[in-house]
Amino acid sequence: MTRQKIKVIKNSEKPEPIEVLAEAIVRIGESFDKLKGSGLNETAVIVLVHDATKISKRDIKLVLDSMRKLRSWYCR
């Protein structure tokens, strides 16, 4: 598996509109809901992501837990 580097370019003079950010957060939450409904339990997802990335299982769990809460934190 080849990792692709992603370069994020920010423009401080013209930041992303709030609506675009809110839509992205909602879509992330929806994708996470689909992942949960895929039949894989959280442990399986953590093991698969860890195996593919070598990121610590603890950090992966923190990200997954945060993904569950994104909409409630940032969208009304």
Q: What is the average per-residue pLDDT within 46-71?
A: 92
Output the furthest CA–CA distance in the chain (Å, rounded): 44
* pTM for the predicted model, two decimal places: 0.65
Residue 70 forms part of a structural domain: yes
Q: Is residue 7 part of a domain?
A: no
Residue 11 lies in a domain: no
Tell me which amino acid residue 39 is.
Answer: G
What domain count does the chain have? 1
User: Does residue 9 belong to any structural domain of this protein?
Assistant: no
* Residue 13 covered by a domain: no
Range of the domain at 40: 18-74
Q: Which of 19-23, 32-36, 40-44, 50-54 has the highest mean pLDDT?
A: 50-54
Asked if 25 and 71 touch (Cβ cutoff 8 Å), the reply is yes
* Per-residue three-class SS string for 4-71: CCCCCCCCCCCCCCHHHHHHHHHHHHHHHHHHHCCCCCHHHHHHHHHHHHCCCHHHHHHHHHHHHHHH
The chain-wide mean pLDDT, for the chain, equals: 84
pLDDT at 3: 63
Residue 46's pLDDT is: 94
